[in-house]
Copies of this chain bind each other. A is one copy, B any other.
Amino acid sequence: MHPYTAPLADIRFVLHEVLDVPALYARLPGSDAATRELIDAVLDEGARFVETVLAPLYQSADAEGCHFDPATGAVTTPKGFKAAYAQWVENGWGGLTAPESAGGQNLPETLGAVIKELVDATNLAWGNYPLLSHGAIEALKHFGSDWQKEVFLNRIVSGEWCATMCLTEPHCGSDLGLLKTRAEPGADGSFAVTGTKIFITGGDHDLTDNIVHLVLARLPDAPAGTKGISLFIVPKRKTGRDGVAGEANAVRCGSIEHKMGIHGSATCVMNFDGAQGWLLGEPHRGLMAMFAMMNSARLGVGLQGLGLMDRAYRCALAYSKERLQMRALGGPKFPEKPADPILVHPDVRRMLLTCKALSEGSRALALHGASLLDVIERSSDAAERKQADELLSFLTPIIKACLTEWAVEGTYHALQCFGGHGYIREQGMEQLARDARITTIYEGTTGIQAIDLLARKTLQTQGMGLKHMLTMIVEFCTAQTRNTALAEFVAPLAKAAQDWQQLTLEIGRRAGQNPEEIGAASVDYLFYSGYVVLAYWWARSVATADAGAHPDAFKTAKRETARFYFQRILPRTQTHAAAILSGAGNLMALEAEAF
């Protein structure tokens, strides 16, 4: 597999210029430590860590997978994972963005997001263990009592313990209202949690001595459906207010799944048999706390998509420069060689540029999303916080679903550039494709994200988040009106934004008459939105590059990639619009038996 070199030049361009995060952190309370110099130093360290520690374990962990011992219920991670985790903890990466009060470094989420991209580009399976801890930190930070923070949060931040999210049960995945796991109150304020959870990432492993499970379950008096679900802290080893991790709790891994990819990530069936747990947050309000984890986890999964597609792109680019095959259609470009490198072929370029346009555009989009998290958490201006929250709520399903769908597409194209060699394990390309395949499923499938975007985040809010995004686009287009060098992007972007608004209104109108129009439009609307938002980031990237002190080659690359995006990718919106406007009829007419 081609070695990984972190794309720091593009990351710095997005952070420092497109988003100008140093200026943001200079004004956000408690963030002034995050100067450009500090950010750059962290990036260099992060790149070194993933390039030297995680990347070398990528293929070996896939070949080896996790081991499960049925006699003890213990899971062993692939060779090297434990040592890599120890080094991660020692370097303080786990607490990068966590509050100082919990022992963290309090650095911005935007920086954490960059590090997440690098981790996932080099070792997605490994990256899932810290990802779950990051989610638990969010939940404990916002909903934990003082002693819970002291005992659990601080140890997760330090990396001493890992965490999980236990939602899914055999009969309930997307539909959490169906869940059956129950929690009986005990005399000492603890609860006895009983039930079976499946698809639990990191449910058991050997990276840490204790594992903090956050488990959704029902109290005895709970109302039915989603309004009767509470969240519990259930440690692998019984741990109470004194913070001592004692004997084994009544929770045990029953088996691990054999999956298409992410073999190094243990996906466990977890059996809770009256396990000691502690209520986290209020009774029956567990989903709210879980969503606090989930939004951060969804952004995280979007970053997984970004990391995978960027990695795949860079491998395919390197291969396309080396591999000699056929001559350019206009005549030999390298007559001294037996054939031309395949990068001369327009169709290979089409595949590579698709990867490049989608991944660089996605980077700006995802890091913008992460920067909104920082505004929400740190701004002293309530109106600014509210607006950032509305916009991020709207963008989260787009980031989660589009970046992962594009990762599936990007890893497809990148593998295809390798021809038959891409199908062989040795090159690592098929592993990237297999690993990418889970990202459109976990933390809510693309279909679930699409309903979240259209029903909850758009129609139910009267398009509040959409309005903020449209305002950003209109303001940008207005500011660039006289910039003739940008006209080829600004004009179609302004048109796309207008069409997006009209399309949304039309869907809303139809949904008022028939709610099935929402589901019938949702995934196409999600993609439509994603392509318009990416067009904005591409136009803005060109404007930023032009305005900055960059070599001509850099400016040209941004402009040409943007041109490719606007001319060859953005037209996909036409197909999505046609599908949306065709209505629900062509989906709903067929009786179940007639399929």
- Contact in complex: B522, A325 (CB < 8 Å): no
Assembled-state Cα–Cα distance A417/B250 (Å): 34
* 9-residue interface stretch from A236-244, A367-375, A462-470, A580-588: A580-588
For A556, the chain B residues whose CB sits under 8 A away are 589-590, 594
Contact B328 A516, beta carbon cutoff 8 Å: yes
Is B178 in contact with A338, judged by CB distance below 8 angstroms? yes
Most buried by B among A353, A522, A589: A589
Binary B-proximity of A569-595 (CB < 8 A = 1, otherwise 0): 001101100110010101111111111
A438 contacts across to B, CB distance below 8 A: 423
**CB-defined contacts of A423 to chain B, threshold 8 Å:** 259-261, 437-438, 441
Q: A423-B441, A446-B416, A515-B330 are in contact. Are A574 and B568 (CB under 8 A)?
A: no
Q: A437 touches which one: B328, B415, B567, B591 (CB < 8 A)?
A: B415
Residue of B nearest to A261 (CB): B423
* Given A420-B442, A574-B571, A587-B353: A346 and B437 interface contact (C-beta under 8 Å): no
Which of A198, A421, A515, A594 is packed against the most chain B CB atoms within 10 Å?
A: A594
Interface residues of A in 319-366 (CB under 8 A from B): 321, 324-326, 328-330, 338-339, 341, 343, 345-350, 352-353, 356
A586 touches B563 (CB 8 A): yes
Instruction: Please give, as numbers and ranges, the residues of chain B lying within 8 Å of A326 by CB-CB distance.
Output: 174-175
Residue of B nearest to A329 (CB): B515
Please pick, from B420, B447, B572, the residue contacting A441 in the complex, using a CB distance under 8 A: B420
Tell me the chain A residues, 454-483 only, with Cβ under 8 Å from chain B.
none
Residue A173 is within 8 A (CB to CB) of chain B in the complex: yes
A169-210 interface bits toward B, Cβ cutoff 8 Å, 1 = contact, 0 = none: 001111101100000000000000000001100000000000
- One of B258, B445, B557 near A594 (C-beta < 8 A): B557
A583 nearest CB neighbor, chain B only:
B567
Copies in the complex: 2
Q: Is A325 a contact partner of B574 (Cβ separation < 8 A)?
A: no
Given contact pairs A419-B173, A422-B441, A430-B437, A347 touches B260 in the complex (Cβ within 8 A):
no
Interface of A (DSSP majority class): helix
A520 close to chain B: CB less than 8 A: yes
Q: Which residue of B lies closest to A333 (CB)?
A: B592
Nearest CB in chain B to that of A578: its residue: B571
Residues on B with C-beta less than 8 A from A377 are none
A445: which of B339, B346, B416 is its contact (CB, 8 Å)? B416
Residues of B within 8 Å of A575, CB to CB, are 571-572, 574-575
* Size bin of chain A's contact surface: 35 or more
Residue of B whose beta carbon sits closest to that of A199: B420
Inter-subunit contact B259/A595 (CB<8 Å): no
**Contact, CB under 8 Å: B419 / A445:** yes
Q: Are A174 and B584 in contact (CB-based, < 8 A)? A: no
CB distance from A391 to the nearest CB of B (A): 25
Residues of B within 8 A of A595 (CB): 317, 343, 352, 356, 557
Interface assignment of A168: CB less than 8 Å from any CB of chain B:
yes
Chain B nearest CB from A244 CB (Å) reads 35
* Contact (Cβ within 8 A) A520 B430: no
Contacts of A347 in B (CB 8 A): 447, 450-451, 519-520, 522-523
User: Quick check: is A101 within 8 A (CB to CB) of the other chain?
Assistant: no
A408 sits at the interface (CB 8 A): yes
User: Would you call A17 an interface residue if the criterion is a C-beta within 8 Å of the partner chain's C-beta atoms?
Assistant: no
Q: A440 contacts the other chain (Cβ, under 8 Å)? A: yes
A418 to chain B, nearest CB (A): 9
Q: Taking A317-B595, A347-B522 as contacts, is the C-beta distance between A258 and B419 under 8 angstroms?
A: no
Interface residue from B171, B341, B434, B561 paired with A324 (Cβ < 8 Å) = B171
| Contact (A346, B168) CB under 8 Å given A173-B419, A424-B257, A590-B557 | no
A294 to B457, CA, bound (A): 52
On whether the beta carbons of A408 and B419 are closer than 8 Å, the reply is no
A586 to B594, CA, bound (A): 46
Ranked nearest first, the 3 interchain pairs of A and B with the lowest CB-CB distance are: A346-B519, A571-B578, A260-B430
Q: List 6 A-B contacts (CB under 8 A).
A: A168-B420, A173-B421, A175-B326, A353-B586, A415-B437, A567-B579
**Assuming A175-B325, A260-B424, A574-B578, what are 11 further A-B pairs, CB within 8 angstroms?**
A173-B421, A260-B423, A261-B423, A347-B450, A347-B520, A350-B523, A353-B590, A420-B442, A430-B437, A557-B595, A564-B587
